A and B are shown apart, each in its own frame.
Chain A
Amino acid sequence: MLSMTRPVLILLCLLVTGFAFTGISAAEVSVSASVDKNEASLDDYIVLKVTVEGTREEPMMPDLSAFKFQSRGTSSQMTIINGSMSSKLEYNYILYPQKAGSFTIGPFTLDADGQKATSSPISITISKAEPQARQSGEIFVTASVDNENPYINEQIVYTLQFCRRVQIAGASLTEQPSFDGFLVENLGKEKEYSKVINGQEYVVTEVRQALVPVKTGALEITPSTLQASVVSQRRSRRGGNPFADDSFFGFSETVPKNFRTGPISVMVKPLPAEGRPADFKNLVGDFTLTSQLGKTRVQAGESITLTLTVSGTGNLKSLQNVDMGQLQNFKVYDDKPVFEPALINGKIGGKLVIKKALVPLVAGTLTIPAISISYFDPASQSYKKAAGPASVVQVSPATDKEKIDLVQAAGQPSAAKQEVQVLGKDILPIRTSHAVMSTENPYPGFGIVLLFALLPAACFFAVFIVKRARDRSSGDPGSARMKNAYRNFTKNFSEAKKALDAQDDQFYQTGSKALKDFIGDRLNIAGQALTPQDLEGLLGGDVSAETLEELKSLLEFFDSGQFGFRKCSVEERKAVLGRMQKAVEHLNRVLRK
Chain B
Amino acid sequence: MKILRYFILFFICMYAAAHADDGQPDISTIFFQANQAYKSGDFKAAADGYEKLVGAGLRNGELLYNLGNAYLKQGDTGRAILNYRSAEMFLPRDADLEANLQYALGLAKDKIDCGEGGSLLTTVCFWYAKLSCRELCYVFFAVNAVFWLLLAVKFFMRREMLGISLYITLFFTLLFGASFGVKLYNTVYSLSGVVLAGEVMVRSGSSTSDTVLFKLHEGAELTVAGQENEWLKITLCDGKKGWVQKSSVGIAGGS
Which residues of A are interface residues toward B (Cβ below 8 A)? 425-444, 449, 452-453, 456-457, 459-460, 463-464, 467
Task: Contact check, A436 vs B31: say whether CB atoms are below 8 A apart.
Answer: yes
Q: How far is the CA of A436 from the CA of B56 in the complex (A)?
A: 13
Q: Across the interface, which residues of A come within 8 angstroms of B149, CB to CB?
A: 456
B96 beta carbon closer than 8 Å to chain A = yes
Assess whether A453 is in contact with B144, with CB atoms less than 8 Å apart.
yes
- Which residues of chain A have C-beta atoms less than 8 A from B187's C-beta? 442-443
Give bound CA distance, A261 to B74, whole Å. 91
Give bound CA distance, A460 to B134, whole Å. Answer: 25
Given known pairs A436-B62, A439-B60, A440-B59, the reply for A429 and B147 (CB within 8 Å) is no
Report the bound CA distance from A429 to B96 in whole Å.
8
Q: Does B192 touch A at the CB level, under 8 Å?
A: no
Question: Is B69 positioned at the interface, with any CB of A under 8 Å from its CB?
Answer: yes
23 contacts between A and B (CB under 8 A): A425-B103, A427-B72, A428-B96, A429-B69, A430-B66, A435-B60, A436-B66, A437-B58, A437-B63, A438-B8, A438-B58, A439-B58, A439-B59, A440-B5, A440-B59, A440-B90, A443-B187, A452-B141, A452-B144, A453-B141, A456-B147, A456-B148, A463-B152
Instruction: Tell me, in angstroms, the Cα distance from A430 to B31 when the chains sit together.
Output: 12
Given the complex of chains A and B, what is the CA–CA distance between A308 and B12 in angstroms?
A: 82
Smallest CB gap from A449: residue in B: B137
List of B residues within 8 angstroms of A432 by Cβ: 35
User: Is A431 touching B66 in the complex (CB atoms < 8 A)?
Assistant: yes
B225 close to chain A: CB less than 8 A: no
- A459, B148: Cβ atoms closer than 8 Å: yes
Q: A432-B35, A442-B253, A443-B133 are in contact. List 18 more A-B contacts (CB 8 A).
A: A426-B103, A427-B72, A428-B96, A430-B70, A433-B62, A436-B31, A438-B9, A438-B12, A440-B61, A441-B134, A443-B187, A443-B188, A449-B184, A453-B177, A456-B144, A456-B148, A460-B155, A463-B155
Q: Which residues of B contact A460 (CB under 8 A)?
A: 148, 151-152, 155
B91 to chain A, nearest CB (A): 10
B window 64-121: CB within 8 A of A: 65-66, 69-70, 72-73, 89-90, 96, 99-100, 103-104
- Docked complex Cα distance between A569 and B13 (Å): 80
Task: Please report B residues at the A interface, Cβ cutoff 8 Å.
Answer: 5, 8-9, 12, 27-28, 31, 35, 38, 46, 53, 57-63, 65-66, 69-70, 72-73, 89-90, 96, 99-100, 103-104, 132-134, 137, 140-141, 144-145, 147-149, 151-152, 155-156, 177, 183-184, 187-188, 253
Q: Which residue of B lies closest to A453 (CB)?
A: B144
> In the complex, what residue of chain A is closest to B57 when comparing beta carbons?
A439
**Within 8 Å CB of B134, what residues of A?**
441-444
Residue of B nearest to A452 (CB): B141
Question: What residues of chain A lie closer than 8 Å to B89, measured between beta carbons?
Answer: 442
Residues of B within 8 A of A437 (CB): 9, 12, 27-28, 31, 53, 58, 63
A427 x B69 contact (CB < 8 A): yes
* Nearest chain B residue, comparing its CB with the CB of A457: B148
Residue of B nearest to A428 (CB): B96
* Pairs A-B, 9 closest by C-beta atoms: A456-B148, A428-B96, A431-B62, A442-B89, A430-B66, A427-B100, A443-B133, A436-B62, A452-B141
Whole-angstrom CA separation of A12 from B248 in the bound complex: 98
Partner of B137, one of A435, A439, A443: A443
Q: Complex formed: what's the CA distance from A424 to B28 in Å?
A: 34
Cα A467 to Cα B63 with chains together (Å): 52
Q: Which residues of B have CB within 8 Å of A434?
A: 9
Report A-chain residues with C-beta under 8 Å of the C-beta of B184. 443, 449
Partner of A430, one of B8, B65, B132: B65
CB distance from A170 to the nearest CB of B (A): 55
Q: Bound complex: CA of A196 vs CA of B82, how far in Å?
A: 97
Q: How far is the CB of B56 from chain A (nearest CB, A)?
A: 9
Instruction: Classify the secondary structure of B's interface with A.
Output: helix
Q: Which of A428, A430, A435, A464 has the most CB of B within 10 A?
A: A430
B249 → chain A, closest Cβ, in Å?
20
A residues in contact with B60, CB < 8 Å: 435-436, 438-440
- Inter-chain contacts of B57 with A (CB < 8 A): 439
- Report Cα–Cα, A433/B63, bound state, in Å: 10
Bound-complex Cα distance A449 to B136 (A): 11
Contact B62 A435 (CB under 8 A): yes
Which of A435, A437, A456 gathers most chain B CB within 10 Å?
A: A437
The smallest C-beta distance from A155 to any residue of chain B, in angstroms, reads: 59
In the bound complex, CA of A425 to CA of B104 (Å): 11
A427 to B61, CA, bound (A): 16
Residue on B with the closest CB to A430?
B66
For the complex, what is the distance from the CA of A427 to the CA of B73, rounded to whole Å? 9
Query: Which of A438, A444, A456, A463 has most chain B Cβ within 10 Å?
Result: A438
A441, A443, A444: residue with the most chain B Cβ atoms closer than 10 Å: A443
> Contact between B31 and A456 (Cβ–Cβ < 8 Å)?
no
In whole Å, how far is A433's beta carbon from the nearest beta carbon of chain B?
7
Cβ distance B176 to chain A, nearest Cβ, rounded Å: 11
Most chain B CB inside 10 Å of its own CB: which residue of A440, A449, A459: A440
User: Complex Cα distance A437/B10, Å?
Assistant: 10
Least Cβ–Cβ distance between B15 and chain A, in angstroms:
11
Shortest Cβ distance from B95 into A: residue:
A428
Q: Please give the distance in Å from A58's CB to the nearest CB on chain B.
A: 54
Q: Are B188 and A430 in contact (CB under 8 A)?
A: no
- Across the interface, B132 reaches (CB within 8 A) one of A436, A442, A452, namely A442
Contact residues in A for B53 (Cβ distance below 8 Å): 436-437
B99 in contact with A427 (CB, 8 Å) = yes
Q: Which residues of B contact A449 (CB under 8 A)?
A: 137, 184
How long is the Cα–Cα vector from A428 to B97 in the complex, in angstroms? 8
Q: What residues on B are CB-neighbors of A435 within 8 Å?
A: 5, 60, 62
Q: Is B63 a contact partner of A436 (Cβ separation < 8 A)? A: yes
Q: How far is the CA of A176 from the CA of B177 in the complex (A)?
A: 70
Whole-angstrom CA separation of A453 from B35 in the bound complex = 41
Cα distance, A441 to B53, chains bound together (Å): 15
Q: Is the CB of B65 within 8 A of A431?
A: yes
Residues of B within 8 Å of A467, CB to CB, are 155-156
**A348 CA to B20 CA in the complex, in Å?**
99
Contacts of B73 in A (CB 8 A): 427
- Shortest distance in angstroms between A413's beta carbon and chain B's nearest beta carbon? 38
Complex Cα–Cα for A459 and B100 (A): 46
Once A449-B137, A456-B145 are accepted as A-B contacts, the answer to whether A427 and B62 lie under 8 Å apart by CB is no
Distance in Å from the Cβ of B59 to the closest Cβ of chain A? 5
Distance in angstroms between the alpha carbons of A490 and B155 in the assembled complex: 36
Q: Give the residue name and chain of the B residue nearest to A433 (CB).
A: B62
Measured between beta carbons, the chain A residues less than 8 angstroms from B100 are 427-428
Closest Cβ–Cβ distance, residue B146 to chain A (whole Å): 9
Q: Is the CB of B148 within 8 A of A442?
A: no
- Which residues of A sit under 8 angstroms from B12, Cβ to Cβ? 437-439
| Residues from chain A with Cβ under 8 Å of B5 in the complex | 435, 438, 440
Residues from chain B with a CB closer than 8 A to the CB of A439 are 8, 12, 57-60
Q: How far is B38's CA from A436's CA once the two chains are assembled, in angstroms? A: 15
Shortest Cβ distance from B101 into chain A, in angstroms? 9
Q: Is A464 in contact with B155, judged by CB distance below 8 angstroms?
A: yes
How far is B253's CA from A430's CA once the two chains are assembled, in angstroms? 19
In whole angstroms, what is the CA distance A440 to B61 when docked? 8
Are A442 and B133 interface neighbours, CB within 8 A?
Answer: yes
**CB-nearest residue of chain B relative to A451?**
B141
> Which chain A residue has the least Cβ–Cβ distance from B149?
A456
